[in-house]
Chain A
Amino acid sequence: DTGVSQDPRHKITKRGQNVTFRCDPISEHNRLYWYRQTLGQGPEFLTYFQNEAQLEKSRLLSDRFSAERPKGSFSTLEIQRTEQGDSAMYLCACRASGTDTQYFGPGTRLTVL
């Protein structure tokens, strides 16, 4: 177990609803990444935090998406006005400063009906 946890593991919602996911990284891993993975594809980068600062956002991250890491520990990813195309696995990963390895969480599987 890598120690990264995500909650919830599964989320089913209706189109137009807002959803929020949480990621708890490994303690003292100050880099935190969000990725999205659709069936049959590799993870796609969404956004990245160093401590509490959001340093980079992918153009995949539309205005409906927002991510926070208020105290530099856990992070949340919110999707507003969900669309069917948002259905995917949302993965969180973390990395300690001075190291290379990104450790992934189990993901949150979102289904938008």
Chain B
Amino acid sequence: GENVEQHPSTLSVQEGDSAVIKCTYSDSASNYFPWYKQELGKRPQLIIDIRSNVGEKKDQRIAVTLNKTAKHFSLHITETQPEDSAVYFCAAGLGDYKLSFGAGTTVTVRA
């Protein structure tokens, strides 16, 4: 089955700096790559996603890049704010989008 690895497990950044989270996946057939943000005690919420026919996607301060050849994808958050503090999960989906998630990255934005 699909195996998704996510790094780093924790990330502390100064407010205003950028944060980058990287994920690799094992199944080259995976074709959908969402990123979810989960605040403490809350449900995972989609923040951005990308399909395998696209190399990069941007939404305001958030961007995702995908390298199909290397089977890795990354989340970039620019101009971080305290409200960006949360756990971020990458995932890879195949077929009818059974998602395989990474272990998560706890992001702390220091004021």
Contact = CB atoms under 8 A, between A and B. Distances in A.
A95 B97 contact: yes
Q: Give the top 10 A-B pairs by smallest Cβ distance, nearest first.
A: A42-B101, A104-B43, A42-B89, A104-B44, A106-B43, A45-B98, A43-B101, A42-B104, A101-B46, A42-B102
Nearest to A41: B103
Given A42-B89, A42-B103, A101-B46, A48 B96 contact: yes
A45 B103 contact: no
Contact of B97 (A44, A102, A104): A102
Interface of A: 2, 4, 31, 33, 35, 40-45, 48, 50, 55-56, 91, 95, 100-107
A104 B103 contact: no
Contacts, number: 58
Contact of A102 (B4, B46, B103): B46
Nearest to B36: A104
Label chain B's interface by main secondary structure: strand
B41 to A, nearest CB: 9
B26 interface: no
Contacts of B34: 100-102
B91 A42 contact: yes
Contacts of A31: 96-97
A53 to B, nearest CB: 11
Contacts of B32: 100
Contacts of B97: 31, 95, 100, 102
Contact of A100 (B36, B49, B103): B49
A31 B98 CA distance: 10
